[in-house]
Amino acid sequence: MVRLITHNLLACHAKGCTSNNFPLQFKDVAIEIREAEFNPDFLRGFLARLEWGALVDAARQLGDTSLPPEVPDMLDDDFLKSLHHVLLEIHVEEGAMICPNCQHVYAISNGIPNMLLAEHEIG
Amino acid sequence: MSRPELQAPPEIYYGDIEAKKYTNNSRIQQIQADMTYRALELLNLPPDEPAFLLDIGCGSGLSGEILDDEGYTWVGVDVAPSMLEVALEREVEGDLFLQDIGQGFGFRPGSFDGAISISVIQWLLNAETSHPTSSPPHRLARFFTTLHSALRNPSRAILQFYPTSDDQIQLITSIAQKAGFGGGVVVDYPNSKKARKVFLCLFVGSGGAQQVPK
Ligand SMILES: [Zn+2]
């Protein structure tokens, strides 16, 4: 149940890994699509929190190319529906997220990423 | 019987059997639900606005189900795989992470509109974990510092927990303050040994417009 809404907020938290540690790169993923309730107010409010480029890239990695490269000036329904789908309906069930900096592998199993660090990685 | 947090680390204590027993116990369900509603009240979110919340030590999703019902989008973290398994079976809507909160969070600054935690942070007071070496103060500092950063300004984190002494409350509060939080402790039913509930009400910035409700 890693969705892109959460992936977009997640950086590596291993010890000393403080730059170039976002976004985590997906590897060997299996995804599932599950419908979620459309809430345009939530999406509009959430936009400012997103790293847009990272979201577009992550969506492409998962096979969804519906998002424009820049946030449009007009947040029409078509755009918000694409955003809704990308953020909340694509679930990464298996695979891994890899830190671009320290290469720590956060394995995803049964939809749950393992964020536990080894002893030498704890800050 | 002694408190669970004194018997074994949470990921060991809440094995498959304890996780199911805990989740299916109707008295525990009721207490957890009451405390979740109370935590939401203390969180003091603007009414009728969608919010993105962090459930710290989400366990089997007892509090998450309430967050779902209340229309919140949420992320839950827990260190006990068996608890998360039960949460999956119960089909909660939040994103779940296997995470030791004493190791800190990696969420980007300002990710969440608020955080709740029900009956969890007393586990951080015990040195014995299966991921050893770190002392309780170190783990608490790491937890509060990274939580503070993950929250928006202004916002709140409401953490209900079971301290065994006032010294523990003092320790936890002082480390939270060092991490940048304001706020304080709210005690419900202070004179009842059974019903007494301690809520750590932490503010980022002003914590929102109003003061801690009575
Ligand atoms: Zn890293």
Q: Give the residue from chain B lying closest to A21, CA to CA.
A: B106
Residue B204, SS3 per DSSP? strand
Whole-number pLDDT of residue B214: 44
Which chain A residues are within 8 Å of B133, Cβ to Cβ? 119, 122
* 3-state SS class at B179: coil
Q: What is the pLDDT of residue B67?
A: 97
Q: Please say whether the beta carbons of B65 and B90 come within 8 A.
A: yes
Higher pLDDT pick, B189 / B9: B189
pLDDT tens for each residue of B89-133: 999 999 999 999 999 999 999 999 999 999 999 999 886 555 555
> How does strand B52-56 pair with strand A112-113?
unpaired
CA angle (B201, A43, B110) in 5-degree steps: 35
Q: How far is CA B42 from CA A107, B84, B110, B179, in A?
A: 35, 26, 20, 20
Residue A11 lies in a domain: yes
The CA–CA distances, whole Å, from B190 to B2, B37, B120, B194 equal 22, 18, 20, 10
Identify which of B179, B174, B177, B184 has the alpha carbon closest to the alpha carbon of residue B212: B184
Q: What is the mean pLDDT of residues B163-172?
A: 94
CATH code of the domain containing A37: 2.20.25.10
Task: Calculate the CA dihedral of residues B64, A88, B112, B40 and round it to 10 degrees.
Answer: -30
pLDDT range class, residue B12, cuts 50, 70, 90: confident
Please identify among residues 4-33 of chain A the ones whose CB lies closer than 8 Å to any CB of chain B: 5-6, 9-13, 21-22
Asked whether residue A123 is assigned to any structural domain, the reply reads: no
Choice among A105-109, B190-194, B209-213 with the minimum mean pLDDT: B209-213
Q: How close does chain A come to B106, measured CA to CA in Å?
A: 4
- Mean pLDDT, range B180-198, rounded to an integer: 94
Asked whether residue A50 is domain-assigned, the answer is yes
pLDDT band at B8 (very low <50, low <70, confident <90, very high): confident
- Kindly report, residue by residue over A8-24, the tens digit of the pLDDT: 999 999 999 999 999 99
Q: Tell me how close the Cα of B198 comes to any Cα of chain A, in angstroms.
A: 28
**Is position A103 within any domain?**
yes
Mean residue pLDDT across chain B = 91
Q: Quick one: pLDDT at residue B3? A: 79
pLDDT in tens, A86-109: 999 999 999 999 999 999 999 999
Number of domains in chain A: 1
Q: What is the pTM of this model?
A: 0.94
Helix (DSSP H) and strand (DSSP E) numbers for chain A: 4, 5
Flag if B108 and A111 touch (Cβ within 8 Å): no
Residue A78 lies inside a defined structural domain of this protein: yes
**pLDDT tens-digit series, residues B23-79:** 788 888 899 999 999 999 999 999 888 999 999 999 999 999 999 999 999 999 999
| Per-position b or e across A22-52, b if 16+ CB within 10 A of its CB | bbbebeebebeeeeeeebeebbeebeebbee
Residues 6+ apart with CB under 8 A from A95: A26, A27, A28, A29, A30, A107, A108
Let me know: does B135 contact B94? Beta carbons within 8 Å.
no
> A122 lies in a domain?
no
Report the alpha-carbon distance of residue B154 to residue B187 in Å, rounded.
23
Output the CA–CA distances (angstroms, integers) from residue B40 to A44, B2, B213, in the order listed.
23, 29, 12
- Which chain B residues are closer than 8 Å to A84 by Cβ? none
| For chain A, percent of residues with pLDDT exceeding 70 | 99
Max CA distance (Å), chain A: 48
Q: Which amino acid is at B21?
A: K
ipTM of the modeled complex: 0.96
Q: Which domain range does residue A42 map to?
A: 2-117
The one-letter amino acid code at A58 reads: A
